[in-house]
Amino acid sequence: MPKGIGQRKRFTSEMVDIEEFHACTEALSFVCWSGSSKHDNVPIQEAGVMGYFKKELAKRQVREDGRRWLFVPYDQLTDQMGPLAREDVRTLGIVLVENPWKAARRPYHKQKLALILANLRHFALEQADRGVAVRRVVGEGPYATALESLIPELGTLRVMLPAERELRSDLARLANQGSLQFLPHEGWLSTSERFRESDIKAPPWKMDTFYRFIRRTTGILMDGEKPAGGRYSFDVENRLPWHGKPRAPEPPSFPRDPIKEEVGELIRNVFARHPGRLDLDALPATKKDAEKLWAWAKAECLPLFGPHEDAMSHRSKSLFHTRISSLLNIHRLLPSRVISDVAGMSLPVGSKEGFIRQILGWREFVRHVHEATDGFRKLPEGRTPVEKAPGDGGYQKWAGEIWGLGKKAKGPDGGAAPCALGCDGPLPPAYWGEPSGLACLDRVVSDVWAEGYSHHITRLMILSNLATLLDARPRDLTDWFWVAYTDAYDWVVEPNVLGMGTYALAGLMTTKPYVSGAAYINRMSDYCTICSFNPKIDCPVTSLYWAFLARHEAVLKTNPRLNMPMASLKKRDALRRKKDQEVYARVKEILGKGDKITPQNL
């Protein structure tokens, strides 16, 4: 069994998880605390832990009557926006849902479950400390079901419009019947109206056009009418590899506390079958932790963020990337705050612009494209097929066991499954940690299962690149990213994988497929130095690249951005093309069995 991934155990139904959640500790019942005795005997039981959270929340009990109630989803854990920022805490109550049903829908990384639960619990105590009434419930099904039973007692609930389409669709029924009122989500830096007003009114959408528009209209990083530094983008300068110097910063660790310990024990007991390594020392969960991470990012990463933005290394998992995405996406750090801090810092303009573009540009852009296409269900060429139930990202193929209830699963569908290139292959077990023999892939996969994180270029040019070269089904790869990364939610993972990583949406939001052979990987990383293949002689990735261009020649030859590689493909003689195809078939066969490729067996 690969180290750090978890156990290949049978996990057959969504019910199993919830039953375990309920049954794990007979001894310690923890209530669905509300501050009202009515709920004190709701017997939700938890793993063999101290009941610390329950006791702490109970200590902060306040009167509930006369309050207006707000549902705060798992990714809106802030009091710096919305009603929590403005309304009198003595008149406010919040509902927080811990939902084992949601956790069981996909084989999510343990670290992601811990991140959500620990932050949610800390947030509950923070709000209770402010005098907000906190009603915490444990869901055993869709969120709408969990909230519905509260409505007769609490009245109409409010919620800032969830970022995740999956949650919006879950809650639609309550909204339609008037039991739930959607408020604008104040965490975004741009509105849908702004996106529609930008110069790109219709697809194909270009991030750069949107980004320039937003820079101009917000004035961020502008000197009057002109972009600061004279240009909107310093991308061309930001493509240096990294050879070990300057030293890459060590990510910070975070102090343990009783909430994290309790969550850790819950995960180990109830969610043991979920993959990935749980590392409580790497878990930011408090406001202080979020500040520590951001202070580290500003001091250690941002000064060198730009030049090495595209570099990859086996000696550093994040190089000069900030690792803030997980906290940004649940709003423990606010995008507006991060942007304004960086705009005010004294930094080389390439680093400052490079970083701001990621958040003001890419992060906003992908969310708009996701929303405008209803999660890629509605594309200019028509409707796309939609999965009935959440995918397992190749878990079953790797583990030999099914995850969840498959098509019988309750709740929202499993997402759109577009595929412009018609790729329908399986995701090899290498993505779950079976050694592939390709050092680049093995290194990044192992980092992901160790931390639930890897930086952008590894996601794009290693994981997506190789899956695309192997004709893996884009939806399966999307589901894999969704479960494996602690920062993944549909609005961000789907555009990045379907739109950018795999070309499943053709030119909807990118101009070409991001694929490469060994030359690029060798130039931008040091992975090849620890590989048994030689990038200039026998690396299969180069053959996979040419075989990919040849297989999809009919579609790709019309793309002007691929003129050069397609012209080179034409010049490739028949023998080499045949060899490329053989390598492709052999690599697929070996990796498909979960075996390792070597220079000898290829």
Ligand X SMILES: Cc1cc2nc3c(=O)[nH]c(=O)nc-3n(C[C@H](O)[C@H](O)[C@H](O)COP(=O)(O)OP(=O)(O)OC[C@H]3O[C@@H](n4cnc5c(N)ncnc54)[C@H](O)[C@@H]3O)c2cc1C
Point out which residues bind ligand SF4 (CB under 6 A): 438-440, 518, 521-522, 527-528, 531, 533, 535, 539, 541
Number of CB atoms found within 10 A of residue 583's CB: 21
Asked if 316 interacts with ligand X (CB under 6 A), we say: no
Site string for ligand X, 349-368 (x = CB under 6 A): ---------xx--xx--x--
Q: Which does 456 bind (CB under 5 to 8 A by kind): ligand X, ligand SF4, none?
A: ligand X
Question: How crowded is the C-beta side of 389, counted as CA atoms within 13 Å?
Answer: 15
CA atoms within a 13 Å half-sphere pointing along the CA-CB vector of 143: 29
Residue 456 as a binder of ligand X (CB under 6 A): the answer is yes
Total residues contacting ligand X by CB under 6 A comes to 28
Alpha helices in 13-161 (DSSP H): 14-23, 52-59, 83-86, 100-105, 110-130, 143-148, 151-154
CB nearer to ligand X: pick between 23 and 295: 295
CA-angle at 514, arms to 512 and 518, nearest 5°: 135
**What residues numbered 464-493 form the site for ligand X, per CB under 6 A?**
464, 481, 485, 487-488, 492-493
Tell me if 169 contacts ligand X by CB under 6 A. Answer: no
Question: SS3 letters for 397-413?
Answer: HHHCCCECCHHHCCCCC
Q: Of the candidates 56, 80, 36, 4, which has an alpha carbon nearest to the alpha carbon of residue 334?
A: 80
**Residue 338 touches which of ligand X, ligand SF4, none (CB < 5 to 8 A by kind)?**
none
Q: How far is the CB of 478 from ligand X (least distance, A)?
A: 8
Select from 6-14, 321-329, 428-436, 536-544 the region that touches ligand X (CB under 6 A): 321-329
Closest residue to ligand SF4, based on beta-carbon distance: 531
| Residue 497 near ligand X by CB under 6 A | yes
CA distance 112 to 54: 22
Would you count residue 373 as binding ligand X (CB under 6 A)?
no
Least distance from C-beta 300 to ligand X, angstroms? 12
As a whole number of angstroms, the distance between CA 145 and CA 124 comes to 21
- Closest residue to ligand X, Cβ-based? 358
311 lies in the binding site for ligand X (CB under 6 A) = no
Q: Rounded to whole angstroms, how far apart are CA atoms 521 and 510? A: 21
487 binds, among ligand X, ligand SF4, none (CB under 5 to 8 A by kind): ligand X
Shortest distance, position 538 Cβ to ligand SF4, whole Å: 8
**Cα end-to-end span (Å), the chain:** 24
Q: Which of 332, 443, 459, 552 binds ligand X (CB under 6 A)?
A: 459
The Cα-based distances of 117 to 88, 95, 99, 219, 229 in angstroms read: 26, 14, 9, 37, 42
Give 408's contacts (C-beta < 8 A, 6+ positions apart).
Answer: 389
Closest of 333, 338, 376, 375 to residue 360, by C-alpha: 338
Select from ligand SF4, ligand X, none the partner in contact with residue 527, using the beta carbon and a kind-dependent cut-off of 5 to 8 Å: ligand SF4
Is 284 near ligand X (CB under 6 A)?
no
Distance between CA 115 and CA 479 in Å, rounded?
Answer: 19
Q: Which does 373 bind (CB under 5 to 8 A by kind): ligand X, ligand SF4, none?
A: none
User: Which candidate, 481, 202, 470, 239, places its Cα nearest to that of 354?
Assistant: 239
Pairing of strands 226-227, 378-379: unpaired
At closest approach, how far in Å is the CB of 542 from ligand SF4?
7
Find which of ligand SF4, ligand X, none residue 481 binds, CB within 5 to 8 Å per kind: ligand X
How distant is the alpha carbon of residue 99 from its chain centre?
18
**Cβ 308 to ligand SF4 shortest distance, Å:** 19
Nearer to ligand SF4, 144 or 521 (CB): 521
Looking at residue 423, the DSSP 8-state letter turns out to be -
Q: State which of residues 24, 81, 460, 521 lies at the interface with ligand X (CB under 6 A).
A: 460
Cβ at position 1, least distance to ligand SF4 in Å: 23
Hey, what amino acid is at 339? I
Q: Supply the minimum distance, in Å, between the C-beta of residue 11 and ligand X.
A: 23
Per CB under 6 A, the list member of 127, 198, 329, 384 interacting with ligand X is 329
Q: CB-wise, 51 or 599, nearer to ligand SF4?
A: 599
**Cβ 431 to ligand X, closest distance in Å?**
12
Query: Which CB sits closer to ligand SF4, 336 or 532?
Result: 532
Identify the burial level of 124 via C-beta atoms within 10 angstroms of its C-beta, where 0-12 means exposed, 13-18 middle and 19 or more buried. Answer: buried
Instruction: Give the binding site for ligand X (CB under 6 A).
Output: 318, 321-325, 328-329, 358-359, 362-363, 366, 455-456, 459-460, 464, 481, 485, 487-488, 492-493, 496-497, 500-501
